[in-house]
Structure 1
């Protein structure tokens, strides 16, 4: 029996939006962890930049708080211009990088022309560091950065099996089996919810030594780490070899959920601490 029951509203949302990115809970928690671990100077800089949210011209998607900012990049996806064209369609591929989990780690094909999540994280940090960056671009870089670090730490945004990050792999989550449930939506939603809501709270100030240990490495290093976890996610879903035959429908039973929830939880924690590091480097 699952410890956390999914409400009907959540099930309806899953059925309607199977490809939604990491949902609000994951992104907001990553942002809250970061806010708790940046320096006071960085925190003030974040508030100052977000106070210029009107420059984005997206009143439907406010960014007055870091929690709001963390989901802005998803909120603006459906927005269209006067001609009916997507205003932010150019950024769709920035939310992920489909690095093949069944081949040696290589970001080159997944990040062609910088159109992937890790390349955009590095770009946003560069824009925020540059004092000459125009104000609007600065606000946009901040809200993209806050969101994309969360995306990178959802493993199925960092690796896949040529199946759109698990979106094409139908899957059951314990006793829940909506027709459009898939491996990606499970890691975006119910697994992340269970992982984050398990006590104690992830949102707290972490010791300096722990922040330094988790924050070590580069964005590429973190990409490799998430890619490796993506392989584990496939292995858990299909029962053994993450590169083995794919069933028509995978199943995460209670034992598998118990095993993978702490993995998801640790990814959220790492994302928050690493976002804090990048924000301090860019703004502090």
Structure 2
């Protein structure tokens, strides 16, 4: 009976609108590395207590690595939000907060509470922290806040440098791979905000983070509707979006951890 239950879960999970590793392994690790550079000393101490010798960069991909395991299949919807196209901020917010099933926003709110909850065990808090690091990276990838009509870009077919793929995959890995940079190099080059800008970004509401991605995704959908054949010029012309979204993710992640600890 248990085996049958797992098969059913696996079948359902295959229908969900996600690909693996938003921003790729190096992208997630770059975000973790940038966040480490903006942590307060209290937050650094708390993170060390929960993660031991593991860094935020190294745990940033853990949530994707364990996702195929039967015991973690329930976490699959935590990696993204999808909403109908053409929504205002108020409509978008209502759509995300009123969703019947879990999503990245509702999961993130709960995980932050779990991480701060003194009644939770060290293991439970570490679990929450690892997911927080990953989810904040995910939701700054525009297609992780894409349209529900096509499962966040998974059904929008395109070609990238002659190879058939979809819009979600292009932004999960294609734009990062095109940089040909290590995560350490990205963390150094993309971490250029001044202190005042850091403070402003860290005060932004989490729903705004998602709406930013949603608005960018709308632009990306319109571009590929006009031309679905993407080449090197596409990844070059969108590099500034990649830089800003990854930098925002790292800085805002640090802000959440500084506030929590």
Q: TM-score range by the shorter chain?
A: 0.7 to 0.9
Q: Which has the higher helix share?
A: 2
- The alpha-carbon deviation at position 188 of structure 1 amounts to 0.8
CA–CA distance in structure 1, aligned partners of residues 159 and 192 of structure 2:
36
Q: What is the rounded CA distance, in whole Å, between the counterparts of 1:207 and 1:265 in structure 2?
A: 15
The CA distance in 2 between the partners of 1:125 and 1:200, in whole Å, is 24
Match of 1:201, SS state, is: helix
Map 1:1-284 → 2, pairs under 5 A: 19-22=19-22, 23-51=24-52, 64-79=54-69, 86-104=70-88, 105-111=91-97, 112-113=99-100, 115-173=102-160, 175-177=161-163, 179=164, 181-194=165-178, 197=181, 201-202=188-189, 204=191, 206-239=193-226, 250-283=228-261
Separation in structure 1 between the aligned mates of residue 173 and residue 116 of structure 2, nearest angstrom: 33
Most deviating of 158-167 and 107-116:
107-116
Between the aligned partners of 2:186 and 2:142, the Cα distance in structure 1 is 22
Alpha-carbon distance in 2 for matches of 1:228, 1:100? 12
Query: Does 207-216 or 135-144 show the bigger shift?
Result: 207-216
Question: What CA deviation, in whole Å up to 9, does each residue of 1:91-128 have, x standing for no partner?
Answer: 11111000123344424444524611122222222122
- Cα distance in 2 for partners of 1:76, 1:146 equals 14
Q: What is the TM-score of this pair, normalised by structure 1?
A: 0.76
C-alpha distance in structure 2 between counterparts of 1:279 and 1:196, whole Å? 30
Conserved? CA contact 1:95–1:157, under 8 Å: yes
CA distance in 2, matches of 1:28, 1:169: 27
Per-residue deviation, 1:215 = 1.8
User: Residues 2-40 of structure 1, C-alpha deviation per residue, up to 9 Å, x if partnerless?
Assistant: xxxxxxxxxxxxxxxx92131211211111110111112
Residues 199 and 159 of structure 1: CA distance in aligned 2, closer, same or farther (over 3 Å): closer
- CA deviation map 1:36-81 (0-9, x unaligned): 1111221121111012xxxxxxxxxxx93222211111000122xx
Contact 1:127/1:141 (8 A) holds in 2: yes
Deviation at 1:136, TM superposition (A): 1.9
Asked if the contact 1:192/1:265 (under 8 Å) is kept, the reply is: no
Distance (Å, rounded) in 2 between the aligned partners of 1:123 and 1:199: 30
Q: CA deviation at 1:233?
A: 1.4
Cα RMSD (Å): 2.4
Q: For the residues of structure 2 that align with 1:199 and 1:145, how far apart are their CA atoms? A: 21
Contact 2:162 2:231 in 1 (8 A): no
Instruction: Find the residue that maps to 1:172 and give its secondary structure.
Output: strand
- Who is 1:4 aligned against? none
Matched positions, count: 237
List alignment gaps of at least 5 residues for structure 1: 1-17, 52-62, 80-85, 240-246
CA distance in 1 between partners of 2:101 and 2:203 (Å) = 23
Question: Deviation at 1:223?
Answer: 1.1
